[in-house]
Amino acid sequence: MKRKREEEKSKANDSNSNGNGNGNGNSNNNMEIVWQTPANPPVKEDYIFRDGRFQVKNRWAGKTIVDLFAEEFKGRPYDYYVSAVKCGRIQVDGEMVPVSYTVKSSQKISHFLHRHEPPVMAWDVSVLQKEPDVLTVCKPPSVPVHPCGQYRKNTVVGILQAEHDLAPLFPVHRLDRLVSGLLILARNASKADLFRQQIEAGKVIKRYIARVNGVFPEGEQVVDVNINYNASAGRSTAESGDSLGDTPLKGKAACTKFTRISTNGTHSIVLCEPITGRTHQIRVHLQYTGYPIANDMLYLCEHVTHREGMSADRAAAYSHHSPPPVSSDKSESSSEDFSIDPMCTNCPNLAPKGYEGHEEGLWLHCVRYSGPGWTYECPYPDWATLSL
């Protein structure tokens, strides 16, 4: 049975700063949420989240403290936020306030809570090359690259800091959470900026491999079709047609080159070279060709039923794979290993709600990035070998 890397639970401080500017002298009308990495470095002995911080949107001003949290953070019931304000777990400028308190601009709002971080599969983040300015690793599937959503420490950046004492790290490119393969991280800001300039100038060649359904056609296949990402649905769609027509295309221009490497008559291994970098570009362009990634339930069919409380990818993976046998060893899941918070809406479960399902990585793997004077590669995964 696959093990899961799960974060210990501890009281943490989510600090929300309702400022009156965005750092460049402009008014607060242009404010946006900005996530920062955890203030405390991850270490093996203390793998918890602490001190996440972001700026508050201007629309929060004028709401009561309870209504603000109930409307903006729907993961907990209204009564929880009432109790949290009354007992001081939610504070304004470091002080307790009544439940009727109205939030003003330029205030710091702190929420002290019991954080449950989603589990990830416990595959190693293997270091491929370690240079003075660059680190390359083989990213396992299911692990996000950097803190996002509910993930803080269960990330490639966090794991590398905790297990290899490698920090700071600046991801040069992104891989979807369920995608595996080569990940390049700069070890200083100037090197990261150099990579960014080369990518934006189109000087970097990116190569992935995918295992798709069917016998993919021979010869290079070029898909030059716009992609429109729907954030609420968590998926992209290909838009074909004339951008000058009566109905203008909403998506962004996207182009991917595909070349078949091998096939066994049921599946094909395809080399994928994205020219642009849109969300789920390779996945949706393969779907557009009629040869979707063979275990990508999000794009195997046109419509996917989402499970409540789960992301689209998580729902897709859960619906496609049977859960593993339940272990009789309670050491990985027993609530005896961590403290129980009587006010926590997730306790006594270790994983947060909606993350109890089993999942596997996509058959999509980054194998090579090359630019002016440099090339980095990653070994092929086991699924890239087709049985006849």
Sequence-ordered list of residues with C-beta below 8 angstroms from that of 95, at least 6 positions apart, any chain: none
The 8 Å CB, 24+ separation contacts for 79-88 are 80/343, 80/345, 83/343, 84/111, 84/113, 84/343, 87/343, 88/112
Catalytically annotated residue among 133, 165, 176, 224: 176
User: In a 3-state reduction of DSSP, which class is residue 297?
Assistant: helix
DSSP track, 299-357: HHSS--PPPTTS-HHHHHHHHHSPPPPPPS-GGGT-GGGSPPPTT-SSTT-SSPTT--S
Q: Report CA-CA distances (Å) from 141 to 123, 293, 371.
A: 8, 15, 25
One-letter amino acid of 94: G
- For residue 176, indicate whether it is catalytic: yes
Query: CA-to-CA distance for 378 and 370, rounded, in angstroms?
Result: 12
Of the candidates 286, 274, 317, which has an alpha carbon nearest to the alpha carbon of residue 141? 317
DSSP track, 105-165: SSEEEEEEEE--PPPEE----EEEEE-SSEEEEEEPTT--SS-BTTBSSSSHHHHHHHHH-
User: In a 3-state reduction of DSSP, which class is residue 379?
Assistant: coil
Unique residue bearing structure tokens 């800091």: 161
Q: Report CA-CA distances (Å) from 331 to 6, 73, 97, 99, 355.
A: 12, 32, 41, 40, 19
Radius of gyration of the chain (CA): 23
Q: Which residues are catalytic?
A: 176
